[in-house]
Amino acid sequence: KVDVCAKDIADQILAGDLDMKMMFIKTDVHPQTSDEAGINWVVFADTLNFSFWQPEDGPQYTVTYKGTKQTGYLALCAAINRTLDSGIPLTSPEYFSNVDKETLDKLLMGDEGVSIPLLQQRIECLHEVGGKLLKNYGGKFTNLLEESNNSAVKLLDLVLQNFVCFRDSASFKEKEVAIHKRAQILVADLWCLFEGTGKGSFPDIASLTMFADYRVPQSLQFYGVLNYDEELLSFLRKDEIMPYGHVFEVEIRGCSIHAVELITKKIREILQEKNNTSAVNSILVDQYLWGYRRKHAEEMVKYPYHKVRSIYY
């Protein structure tokens, strides 16, 4: 079924209906310029880019701003912009390194008084990242970016070296498995912010993998690329929270990464046969699958996803 998914994406590219680079283009909620303010916005958002899901039968974290209701990660983006528009420098490391829990709760508050999940953990992440930037880089992520010498892999390493809260790895069958979803998203979002040019052109961007989360596996199930056995399905149907590092979780995330690599490879082969030079990498395929899940949310309900409360995704 890898071929089915790859052919579907490749056919859309060949027909001109899908431009893979458009999958990672800046939306209305994202910063539009690659200046220090835009970089700070990306760093702040990706420091908090985790665990937005809520139990289906309870109140959801949504943010309505400028007439549009946003859910999940985009709700966080809307709350950030609402705060910045009010004149509060939320995304400045000097500000967020010391923001208190009560203030952050108010600033990121969702519709109908629903707080963002894992508020305490979000405060801890912001204080760590802001504190390290102030201590080691003069409060400027641009200084860390300069140190990467325009390498996505080097920037990823620097993020992991400096910020413990981005280190997303697990033990699987006595082997350490590095996944680093949020760290890779940070690098990819900066690549997007710079539109693949200048200090964010990152010629080695294709070295990054997809961002292993709890939503893309639903799209992979939909396409038949991932098939869950009865043991896993029965666990997921209980609708219980899976502990971070659980063997099922690591298998799902690891298989998702491998699946997207296979899909990406197949798409490239199809396009090459047709002499099509469209840029394709695992990041862009991930974004397609993530957006596909949102676009077909009602159809995806029948494909269970693993629920993990974690700062890593």
Whether 213 is catalytic is yes
**Structural contact between residues 174 and 128, judged by C-beta atoms closer than 8 angstroms:** no
**H helix count then E strand count, the chain:** 14, 4
- The catalytic residue among 46, 189, 213, 286 is 213
Q: How far, in Å, CA of 30 to CA of 282, rounded?
A: 21
Strand, helix or coil at 175? strand
Integer Cα distance of 261 and 274 in angstroms: 20
- The alpha-carbon radius of gyration of the chain (Å, integer) is 19
Side chain identity at 84, as an amino acid letter?
L
The sign of the torsion formed by the CA atoms of 166, 212, 309, 91 equals positive
Count CA atoms within 13 Å of residue 201 on its CB side: 5
- Measure Cα distances from 128 to 189, 219, 240, 310 in Å: 20, 34, 30, 16
Residue 173, C-beta contacts closer than 8 angstroms, at least 6 positions apart: none
**DSSP characters for 45-89?**
HHHS-S-----TTS---EEEETTEEEEHHHHHHHHHHHHHHTT--
- Tell me the β-bridge partners of 241: 307
CA–CA distances in Å: residue 242 to residues 48, 54, 229, 251, 274? 20, 14, 17, 13, 44
Catalytic sites, residue numbers: 213
